[in-house]
C-alpha cells in the first residue's frame, strides 16, 4: 500500500450500477463525439497557456462534463488568486474538470496517468504534476516541489484519498499533501463532489474504480441518463489555523456518510 495511493475496496461489478442499453447507444456516441471535439479544442489552445482567461478555462471544463451528459451544480466559490491547495474526495475522472471548473489549478495525479493514450499526453502538456507511487523516497522532494509552486501563487488541486471510491463509500484524506500547504503558508479549500440522479438518489455510473478502464467508464457515463454532478466549494481553511498536517487533513475531510465512514457499503 502506498502513502499516496492506498487501495479502495470499490469495484465496477460490486459498486457500479450498469447503464448501457441499445436505446442509449446513439446518444452515447453523440456525447462522446462532443467530448472529443472539446478536448481537441483544448489541445489546440494549449500553446496559449496562461494567456487564456481563467473564466474561459472554467467554462470549457464545465462544458466537457455537460457534453458527457452530466448536469453540473456548483455551490460556493474558490479563493480567486494566490497560492491555494484545493482538495476533494475522488470518485470519477469527471472530478478533474469539475475541480478545474471551480478554479484552474495544477493537478496532482498518479504517474500511471502519463501512460494513458491521448489523455496522458494532454495531462503532461497541461502542467499536471505526476507522483510515482512506488517511490516513497521521492515523497519529501514532491512535497517540497508542491510547496514551491504554492508559494509562487499558483493553485494546486489534489485528491488526498489517494484512490477513487464509488461515492457510496469513501476513504480518509492522507496527510502528506497538506504538509506542502503548511510549508507554503497558503489556504486549503475543501471541495465535496457527489453524483446524483435527478431524483436525488446517489448515482454510481460516474465512478471510475478498481480495474475499470477509462474507455469503459467513458461509455458508461455517456450512456447514463439524468446524472447530476454536485460540487460544494467550502470555506477556505486559513494558513496557521492548524499546526500540523494531521489536524489540517482532518479539518478538510468531508463529513462522514452515516454508517460508512471510510468503509464499504457491501
Burial class (CB in 10 A: 0-12, 13-18, 19+), 223: buried
Give the orientation angle of helix 214-223 with respect to helix 25-45, to 10 degrees. Answer: 120
Q: What is the pLDDT of residue 265?
A: 35
Q: What is the pLDDT of residue 255?
A: 67
Contact 156, 146 (CB under 8 A): yes
Biggest alpha carbon–alpha carbon distance for the chain: 55
Q: What is the pLDDT of residue 257?
A: 35
CB-facing half-sphere around the CA of 101: CA atoms within 13 A: 25
Contact 169, 260 (CB under 8 A): yes
DSSP state of 211: T
d(Cα 65, Cα 228) in Å, to the nearest integer? 10
Q: What is the pLDDT of residue 128?
A: 78
d(Cα 233, Cα 178) in Å, to the nearest integer? 18
Q: Provide the whole-model pTM.
A: 0.86
C-alpha angle 149-150-156 in degrees, rounded to nearest 5:
90
d(Cα 82, Cα 69) in Å, to the nearest integer? 33
Taking the CA atoms of the chain, what radius of gyration do you get in angstroms?
18
C-alpha angle 151-59-114 in degrees, rounded to nearest 5:
60
In this structure, what C-alpha cell is assigned to residue 191?
A: 471541495
Contact 119, 97 (CB under 8 A): no
d(Cα 22, Cα 220) in Å, to the nearest integer? 13
d(Cα 183, Cα 173) in Å, to the nearest integer? 18
Mean pLDDT by 10-residue block, N- to C-terminus, for the chain (266 residues)? 58 76 80 93 80 90 96 96 96 94 88 67 71 70 90 94 82 90 97 92 91 90 94 96 93 60 36
Q: Phi first, then psi: what are they for 88, rounded to 5°?
A: -145, 155
**Residues contacting 30, CB < 8 A, separation 6+:** none
Q: Which segments of the chain are extended strands (E)?
A: 70-75, 84-88, 106-110, 129-131, 155-158, 188-197, 227-233
Amino acid at each position: 500500500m502506498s502513502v499516496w495511493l492506498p487501495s479502495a475496496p470499490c469495484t465496477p461489478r460490486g459498486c457500479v450500477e450498469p447503464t448501457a442499453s441499445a436505446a442509449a447507444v446513439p446518444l452515447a456516441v453523440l456525447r462522446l463525439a462532443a467530448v472529443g471535439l472539446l478536448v481537441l479544442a483544448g489541445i489546440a489552445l494549449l500553446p496559449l497557456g496562461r494567456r487564456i482567461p481563467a473564466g474561459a478555462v472554467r467554462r470549457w471544463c464545465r462544458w466537457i462534463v455537460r457534453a458527457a451528459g452530466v448536469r453540473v451544480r456548483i455551490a460556493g466559490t474558490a479563493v480567486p488568486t494566490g497560492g491555494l491547495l484545493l482538495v476533494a474526495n475522488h470518485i470519477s475522472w469527471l472530478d478533474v474538470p469539475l475541480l478545474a471548473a471551480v478554479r484552474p489549478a495544477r493537478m496532482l495525479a498518479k504517474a500511471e496517468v502519463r501512460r494513458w493514450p491521448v489523455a496522458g499526453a494532454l495531462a503532461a502538456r497541461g502542467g499536471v504534476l505526476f507522483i510515482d507511487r512506488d517511490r516513497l523516497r521521492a515523497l519529501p522532494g514532491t512535497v517540497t516541489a508542491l510547496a514551491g509552486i504554492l508559494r509562487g501563487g499558483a493553485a494546486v488541486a489534489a485528491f488526498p484519498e489517494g484512490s477513487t471510491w464509488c461515492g457510496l463509500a469513501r476513504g480518509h484524506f492522507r496527510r502528506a499533501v497538506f504538509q506542502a500547504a503548511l510549508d507554503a503558508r497558503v489556504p486549503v479549500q475543501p471541495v465535496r463532489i457527489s453524483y446524483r440522479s435527478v431524483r436525488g438518489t446517489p448515482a454510481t455510473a460516474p465512478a471510475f474504480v478498481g480495474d475499470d478502464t477509462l474507455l469503459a467508464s467513458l461509455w458508461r457515463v455517456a450512456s447514463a441518463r439524468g446524472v447530476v454532478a454536485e460540487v460544494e466549494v467550502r470555506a477556505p481553511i486559513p494558513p496557521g489555523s492548524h499546526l500540523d498536517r494531521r489536524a489540517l487533513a482532518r479539518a478538510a475531510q468531508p463529513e462522514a456518510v452515516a454508517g460508512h465512514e471510510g468503509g464499504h457499503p457491501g
